Structure 1
Amino acid sequence: MTYETILLERLEGGVARITLNRPARVNALNVRTLKELNLALDEIERDAGIHAVILTGAGGSFSSGFDLKEQAENGPTGPEEWREALRYDFDTVTRFWHFPKPTLAAVPGACLAGGLELALCCDITIASENAFFGEPELKFGAGIVVMVLPWIVGPKVAKDIILTGEDRITAQRAHEIGLITRIVPADELQEAALRIARRVAVVDPDLVRDTKRAINVALEAQGLSSGLAAALDIDIAAEGRRSPDKVQFMSIVRQEGLRAALAWRERRFAEAEPL
């Protein structure tokens, strides 16, 4: 099929590559993108010749997160609409975690908010030297849709990142705290991702599927699934409550545009002590 916001390629060696393809919006995840990600994964799951999946972004970045401009213009307005929208966001991102074939995120440039959650839900995450990461949601009154970060880096580091709205974690720091598994030069990112994916694709796909499941089960036995579900419920309640910060941020988006709203957000935090 034809996609509008992603690219789907079948590469040699049993590998498929999905590219988030909204570079003018830093590959923000709008409703169309989420639907197309699900459709692409449906295609890949049906294709017995594909044994591994690479997820990356066009235009020098991975993703800036869920599309705030679309949310401001045509977003949920009540608790039930918020529940439906956030549940769809959650299910799409976590599908990469549960997907029966191995998933690898190749991260160039910005990887923020929902984009970071998407990269973390892939089985392997590698990044270019110029990549940067963060969870800035609380800085504009939003919550975290997929609270997977504490399961990857631990609760103390996750609180430090999330509660301060940190959004400039370097690739080196990301590697040190376990956000990513490898750092490569920017011009070698796609080739490095392809080499890793092809290496995984050589292994018996049933064995890879079962082994991935075995690793995931170990975390689920510690409460991952119930923890993520509870965190989603908290986020739904928080969004339905409408933080004054979020109300003002979205008002600026509608009246003056996203760039002005981001500038307003950054001015507020520029007055605080630097980290």
Structure 2
Amino acid sequence: MPRFITTHTAGRIGYLTFNRPEKLNAMNNQLLDEFSAEIAALGANPDISVIVISGNGRAFSVGFDVDPGNGGSDAASGLESYLDWESLRRNIQRWLAVWDTPKPVVSAIEGYCMGGATMLAVCTDITVVGEDAVIGWPAIPLGGGLLSPTTAWLIGPKKAKELSFIAGSRMSGAEAAALGWANYAVPAGTALKRAEALAQQIAKMPLDLLRLKKMALNRHMDQRGFREAILQGAEWDAVAHTAQGTHTMTQKIKELGLKGAIGWFHSEENA
């Protein structure tokens, strides 16, 4: 079975790469489980001071894989409410594990960063994006309260509401950096190179001090409610999955397929 996460090290830098390029690194259960195992291993490696996360191919990741035929994640499997909440919370905890990793994590984003992948990016410590990267929300409304409250911590509630209220919202990499979602926007194709340069500088800091610095900043954010706000996303999304509007969209997907449902939602018929 092919692996969907690859890792390697160079000096005191650990590299984790999404490696499902034919599916734009969509996150199915196998990929998610491999991710959790590998981020934990890199976090526990005393020879590694900083971790860089990137995606192979045309996308960082298009988020959770909603196609059961692709070994899709539990994100769209129509679970009973409690099990739905439990599944959503489990995946949020994967991202909080990055937040809690005892060393800095840098995300290098090229191409698409969509849906659940945006939550991962927020939970990394530093983000570098290609100027033409696409940071986006689902093209049709299937949930609520999961992505935008997380994003609001970086870009503020007004912009987060705009992105949440309009299906298929997008930010370019340049916009994301201007709004504070990313640290840097760089020419397309150079995000990983810039992330590596930052990681090399970070790796010069003694690891015990890096841990303390990250813990101090994260503790401040957690005291302001960051962790609870992200975890509450599972509750809001599970509730949203029971709403009539969500049922209408899932029925359209059954009738028309995903692409057809997207076309219907954005057509004059749905005006």
The TM-score with structure 1 as length reference comes to 0.87
Residue of structure 2 equivalent to 1:15: 13
Indicate if the aligned counterparts of 1:90 and 1:145 stay in contact, CA closer than 8 A: no
Indicate if the aligned counterparts of 1:29 and 1:63 stay in contact, CA closer than 8 A: yes
Indicate if the aligned counterparts of 2:141 and 2:167 stay in contact, CA closer than 8 A: no
CA separation of 1:98 and 1:46: change in aligned 2, threshold 3 A? closer
Deviations along 1:13-54, one digit per CA (max 9) or x if unpaired, are: 211111112222221111111111111012112211111111
Question: How far apart in 2 are the matches of 1:21 and 1:61?
Answer: 10
Structure 2: which 5+ runs fail to align? none
SS of structure 1 residue aligned to 2:215: helix
CA separation of 1:191 and 1:73: change in aligned 2, threshold 3 A? closer
Q: Using the TM superposition, give the Cα deviation of residue 152 of structure 1 relative to its aligned residue in structure 2, in angstroms.
A: 1.0
Structure 1: which 5+ runs fail to align? none
**Is 2:51 the counterpart of 1:53?**
yes
SS of structure 1 residue aligned to 2:190: helix
Question: How far apart in 2 are the matches of 1:150 and 1:48?
Answer: 34
Sequence identity percentage: 26
The one-letter code sitting in structure 2 at the alignment partner of 1:51 is S
Residue of structure 2 equivalent to 1:34: 32
The one-letter code sitting in structure 2 at the alignment partner of 1:204 is P
**Is 2:204 the counterpart of 1:202?**
yes
Residue of structure 2 equivalent to 1:143: 144
Residue of structure 1 equivalent to 2:23: 25
Deviations along 1:178-224, one digit per CA (max 9) or x if unpaired, are: 11111112232222111111111111111111111111111122122
Indicate if the aligned counterparts of 1:76 and 1:85 stay in contact, CA closer than 8 A: no
Residue of structure 1 equivalent to 2:261: 261
Question: How far apart in 2 are the matches of 1:71 and 1:195?
Answer: 34
Q: Using the TM superposition, give the Cα deviation of residue 160 of structure 1 relative to its aligned residue in structure 2, in angstroms.
A: 1.3
Residue of structure 2 equivalent to 1:189: 191
The one-letter code sitting in structure 2 at the alignment partner of 1:189 is A
Q: Let me know the Cα RMSD of the aligned residues.
A: 2.4
Indicate if the aligned counterparts of 2:135 and 2:170 stay in contact, CA closer than 8 A: yes
Alignment partner of 2:121 out of 116, 119, 122: 119
Alignment partner of 1:107 out of 84, 106, 109: 109
Q: Using the TM superposition, give the Cα deviation of residue 105 of structure 1 relative to its aligned residue in structure 2, in angstroms.
A: 0.6
CA separation of 1:7 and 1:250: change in aligned 2, threshold 3 A? farther
**Is 2:65 the counterpart of 1:64?**
no
Deviations along 1:87-140, one digit per CA (max 9) or x if unpaired, are: 111101222112111111100011111111111111000011220112237x32
User: Which residues of 2 match residues 182-261 of structure 1 at below 5 A?
Assistant: 182-239=184-241, 241=242, 243-254=243-254, 256-261=256-261
CA separation of 1:79 and 1:256: change in aligned 2, threshold 3 A? same
The TM-score with structure 2 as length reference comes to 0.88
Question: How far apart in 2 are the matches of 1:8 and 1:125?
Answer: 19
Q: Using the TM superposition, give the Cα deviation of residue 72 of structure 1 relative to its aligned residue in structure 2, in angstroms.
A: 8.5
Question: How far apart in 2 are the matches of 1:74 and 1:141?
Answer: 9
CA separation of 1:34 and 1:145: change in aligned 2, threshold 3 A? farther
Indicate if the aligned counterparts of 2:104 and 2:214 stay in contact, CA closer than 8 A: yes
Q: Using the TM superposition, give the Cα deviation of residue 256 of structure 1 relative to its aligned residue in structure 2, in angstroms.
A: 4.9
CA separation of 1:185 and 1:74: change in aligned 2, threshold 3 A? closer
Question: How far apart in 2 are the matches of 1:101 and 1:251?
Answer: 44
SS of structure 1 residue aligned to 2:6: strand
Question: How far apart in 1 are the matches of 2:73 and 2:257?
Answer: 12
Question: How far apart in 2 are the matches of 1:257 and 1:144?
Answer: 25
SS of structure 1 residue aligned to 2:203: helix
CA separation of 1:93 and 1:266: change in aligned 2, threshold 3 A? farther
The one-letter code sitting in structure 1 at the alignment partner of 2:189 is D
